[in-house]
Amino acid sequence: MNSMFCRCGQRFLALPSSAVRHLSTDSTPPRVLITGGLGQLGRSLASVLRKTHGNDSVVLTDIKKAPSDVLSAGPYSYLDVLDEASLRRTVVEERITTLVHYSALLSVVGESNIPLAMKVNIDSVHSCMQIAQEYNLRLFIPSTIGAFGPHCPRNPTPDLTVQRPRTIYGVSKVHMELLGEYFQASRGLDFRSLRFPGVLSADTPPGGGTTDYAVHMAVAAAKDRPFECNLRPDTRLPMMYLSDCVRATVEMLTAPADSLRLRTYNVTAMSFTPEELVAEIRKHKKDFTVTYKPDPIVQAIADSWPEVFDDSGARNDWGWNHEYDLSRLVRRMLESAAKYH
């Protein structure tokens, strides 16, 4: 996920203690480094892991100035992931045992600056792989529904199938998946990845993804404003709520290695279209009005992505299960949007 400021103050996700297994099996506390830490996922994951392992166990990093609540919550450092020497130095000086690499440019943003996307989404991954192998780190890098393309099965899309994405974001993620699996199989790197669908939360500003329309729609509805959607009303895409996404990450990070049949899994919670989302919102905001003006670039991206994710592998191998369906998602986002926007 690309770096984004979070305007939610101290509003962090609270997961049940049963959902958080320990990252280490011995008495030594784990040391986790999160890149792109001011983004949608970084702060929430840090909060969950710190509740289990202590505030000093997670080092949050980014290239932006951190707000005061981040600085008071635990260690934070400036780190440019394109500077391999600085990344290596941080790993050594902070005694890191697990590296979570969130820094990336998402689909729409990446298409507007392909050279930068190649640097952030590919070059930094190479550095993370080399450093993780050299220092025997557990490495987690998220993947995406964008790793698939128009030639893959779209409903449902399995874990293993043809992948021919049409965005630099998707291409870079396929590269990451294959490289990580290569390092795991040939060099013993403890590499783990999850292909996320659209990750939604009205607590934080969206970061430039194709599925962000759902958050913008919820905010408009909460504020009793009309909304113009940049996708066709029948565009079906997989989605999940932020807390489910963070919990899936923790569960994948802490799953026993012998339970992992794969090293890259699909995870999801639901699939819906803009018109289905509007119908659910109107159960709470009956006068909500929406018009549709598809953006050609955004629509083309969405049309190349899966409509329904098959995540039976994650559910069978390490017990993944979502908590938020569409009804609960809409209620939660409307509440958050009304309060924080």
The domain segmentation of the chain, as residue ranges, is: 104-340
Catalytic residue among 76, 78, 135, 169: 169
CB 281 within 8 A of CB 273: no
**Does the structural domain 104-340 have CATH classification 3.10.20.600?**
no
CB 311 within 8 A of CB 321: no
- The SS3 assignment for 325 reads coil
CB 113 within 8 A of CB 105: yes
Mean pLDDT of 173-188: 97
The DSSP-derived string for 217-259 is HHHHHHTT--EEESS-TT--EEEEEHHHHHHHHHHHHHS-GGG
Residue 29 has a pLDDT of 82
Provide the token pair at 6. Answer: 């979070």
Mean pLDDT of 185-204: 94
Per residue in 58-102, pLDDT (tens digit) is: 999 999 999 999 999 999 999 999 999 999 999 999 999 999 999
Mean pLDDT of 136-153: 96
Residue 166: count other Cβ atoms within 10 Å of its Cβ: 19
pLDDT higher than threshold 70 for residue 7: no
306 vs 153: CA distance, rounded Å: 7
Residue 322 has a pLDDT of 98
- The SS3 assignment for 303 reads helix
Mean pLDDT of 225-231: 97
Provide the token pair at 213. Answer: 């329309």
Is 135 part of the annotated catalytic residue set?
A: no
CA nearest neighbour of 312 among 266, 269, 251: 266
Provide the token pair at 193. Answer: 């990845």
